Amino acid sequence: MIVETVTAHEISSELWYPEEVTPRLWAAVVVVAVATLAPSAQSALQTTTPTVYVAIHVTLTGSKVVVEPRSAPRGVSARFILHNIGTKAVIFSVGNQTRGLGALFGFRTVVKPRTQKTLLLYLAARGTIRYYSGSSFADATAGEKGVLVVGATCALCAPPGPPVPP
């Protein structure tokens, strides 16, 4: 059996050391690293701004509608939290649902007795939004109807959709 001995100098001559790295090779490594990290950094800048929500609590009874708060800024998503504390189902409407050539905006829902329902509505424009209980705004009594005032844009609000490019 023959055993070959190898010295440390012979082993070290076979290894590749960083001193042998040329500037051209370092430049290639840097370019590859930047190319792989750049798309992830760019996508981080293009994330969407979170939507601002305003909770609007609506308490319904058979003869009265209580809405708090009665105003909200433009550009927020209004979270209508409907709570029927009465003993009968109540039809609650917000906005304009008239069929025809006009713009439809808002919602109409039936809230069962002693239940709670949550609905979202994006407040895109300034102005007033009618709300009422029953079949129509004209037929509702003074306690069953009112208006929600949509004011100026809040500082934290962003339009829905993708961000505006810089």
Residue-wise pLDDT tens digits, 53-75: 899 999 998 889 999 999 998 88
Q: Where are the domains of the chain?
A: 8-45, 53-153
CATH number of 53-153: 2.60.40.420
The pair phi, psi for residue 38, each rounded to 5°, is: -60, -45
Each residue's pLDDT tens digit, 121-159:
888 888 889 999 988 888 899 999 999 999 887 666 655
**Number of Cβ atoms within 10 Å of the Cβ of 59:** 15
pTM: 0.62
